[in-house]
A and B are shown apart, each in its own frame.
Chain A
Amino acid sequence: MAVEHPPATPAGDQSRIHDIGYRGYDGPRLGRAYARRSLYSQTLRGSYGLGRSVKSKVLPMLLFAVICVPAAIMVAVAVATKAHDLPVPYTRYAIIMQAVISLYVASQAPQAVSRDLRFKTIPLYFSRPIETADYVQAKFAALASALFVLTGAPLVVLYLGALLAKMDFGHQTKGFGQGLLSAALLSLLFAGIGLVIASVTPRRGFGIAAVIAVLIVSYGAVSTLQAIADSQGSSGAVPWIGLFSPVTLIGGLSSGLLGGTNTFPGDGPSHTQGAVYLLVIVGLVAACYGLLLRRYKKVGL
């Protein structure tokens, strides 16, 4: 096997590699849309601690596990008992898990925007081709996607389990679709609220506390008010009170428009009220986007 090898590169050539001068860049420059996509994927990965330190992976991964485990248990029980339907409808799952979702928003919204403010990285972004709107869109879309992964994953577990348990395919698929739609709206709403709050403060701690206050405390307050209204005999007010916290907004929408079971005391929202819920959610998401744009117009260099 006397194959002739090409002569080895002389050592001199190798040492010269370390001494090459400056090389320019003549390759493609992919511009704004690409930069926006890069920012989106970097933020989305960062929302689960990917590409960041081990420490910053712990909380998002833990919350992801916490939200999926109950779904897995439900599926296991359903399969074992040969149940004909899941113990919890798809649209209801996020409401049960609202504390986990709120904690996730509280921890990751500041991660997405407060860091750039705190370490003053913003000017570096805006000295590049992207505009204010690109930055806001990338961050908004990234956090909403991260939330959709968090709220959608347990639904996928439930759906696969339901199919495994040979439940009615049509019924399950419809419920799964409604669940995903509700999860998508929840993701947009929570991401918007979380980002608006976090974008005001460069301090992560404040951001976390403020997001928890708005999401969890408002849910507690609204639920209490609803219970009082119901026991005082003014149950007609219950659905309207539900408009004042993000969690009950999603809950009311699910039961009013998406065929979910009622999560409110007394009667759930009607179809018309469901439509109002949808309008309020869309309006809030748009308002959050507008506020973020205004906020970042000011930040600049």
Chain B
Amino acid sequence: MVRVTTFYDVTVIATESLSKRFPRVTALDRLSVDIGPGVTGLVGANGAGKSTLIKILLGLSPATEGRAEVLGLDVATKGAAIRERVGYMPEHDCLPPDVSATEFVVHMARMSGLPPTAARERTADTLRHVGLYEERYRPIGGYSTGMKQRVKLAQALVHDPQLVFLDEPTNGLDPVGRDEMLGLIRRIHTDFGISVLVTSHLLGELERTCDHVVVVDGGKLLRSSSTTDFTQTTTTLAIEVTDSDEHPDGTRAVRDALHARGVETDNEGGGLPGAGHILLLTAQGEETYDLVRDVVADLGLGLVRMEQRRHHISEVFTSSDEQRKEATVHGG
């Protein structure tokens, strides 16, 4: 049962040359960004200004200059109204160990203004949705990191907000827990109809989850684009083929055949195990995939893998450094 969100084509978060300066540091520097409904990733290294931005958006810390709106409400004057409709999951541990998840989340639901009965019902529902069952009656102190993260998520969702801020929700989780959390975050939007702003310092994991990614560094906006744009620009293909009697070194055979057709390859393989067997090439579009398929088939080899290699956040920084230089040239 997907709830109909009434704010399609409306910006959920809008900032306009938002700045926050502390005596010694500039945490945010004229940040202007519009964020629509859906799952949005906010990426940046530690100290890039992500947490400062969330604080301002919750109406808890005044901006030095510029303005921001959340759900159409001005953060400077409508803080309480915003916080009633928004959920927040902090990065650090925030749970008392001596109470059960149920008691804790009920209390937090009431702190969001839900009447006692509704608070109990919503708590039971929400804990079930985040995947906590019998253990919810036990004290939180005995929970695993993954379970604690779920409780933290539940308290952010219990009052059925229109938007949640999730600060580094995958921190400290093992790969399986990370995948489960990312799946859950995706469901918050698709199944619950709640928009999500999720921060991370790992671009890779956000690409899979988010509709839109905003990259900040040093309080400045580096890039804001939909995830599909990211994937389009990052189409390095990795290819691995089998060897056959005819071609004892299948990789070399494919590379030569591709070179013969004018396609450049790069087989350093990124230093991965078995790197010598992996060919990297830049895809120009659909036809590159077809070409690789045909070449491999003509040689009678088996195609073990053909996958997109995604860029790391460092590459986003590099390319945007160039953009920034251009910007300074134009601006100067």
Contacts and interface: CB of A to CB of B under 8 A. Distances in A.
Given A22-B1, A25-B122, A301-B55, A120 B111 contact: no
B110 interface: yes
B88 A35 contact: no
A52 B103 CA distance: 10
B107 interface: yes
Contact of B84 (A31, A56, A124, A131): A31
B113 A127 contact: no
Given A22-B192, A52-B98, A120-B94, A127 B58 contact: yes
A130 B60 CA distance: 11
Contacts of A28: 113, 115, 118
A3 to B, nearest CB: 33
Interface in A32-73: 32, 34-35, 38-39, 42, 51-53, 56
Contact of B114 (A27, A32, A56): A27
B199 interface: no
A11 interface: no
Interface string A119-136: 111011111111100000
Nearest to B86: A127
A143 B41 CA distance: 42
A229 to B, nearest CB: 47
Question: Looking at A123, A126, A127, A301, which has the most chain B CB atoms within 10 Å of its CB?
Answer: A127
B259 interface: no
B93 A119 contact: yes
Name the interface size band of chain A: 35 or more
Nearest to A131: B80
Nearest to B1: A21
A120 B94 CA distance: 5
Given A127-B58, A301-B55, A20 B115 contact: no
A123 B80 contact: no
Given A35-B112, A129-B80, A300-B61, A24 B118 contact: no
Name the interface size band of chain B: 35 or more
Contacts of A8: none
A121 B114 contact: no
A30 B111 contact: no
B171 to A, nearest CB: 14
Contacts of A124: 88, 90, 94, 108, 111, 155
B49 to A, nearest CB: 14
A114 B38 CA distance: 38
B191 to A, nearest CB: 5
A29 B1 contact: no
A35 B115 CA distance: 10
Contact of B159 (A25, A38, A300): A25
Contact of A129 (B3, B96, B107, B112): B112
A129 B59 CA distance: 10
Interface in B279-316: none
Interface of A: 20-25, 27-32, 34-35, 38-39, 42, 51-53, 56, 115, 119-121, 123-131, 300-301
Given A30-B114, A124-B108, 18 more contacts: A22-B125, A22-B129, A24-B160, A27-B114, A30-B115, A35-B113, A115-B96, A120-B94, A121-B94, A124-B88, A124-B155, A127-B86, A128-B84, A128-B112, A129-B80, A130-B111, A300-B61, A301-B90
A-B pairs, top 7 by smallest CB distance, nearest first, are A25-B160, A127-B88, A29-B113, A38-B110, A21-B1, A30-B113, A22-B192
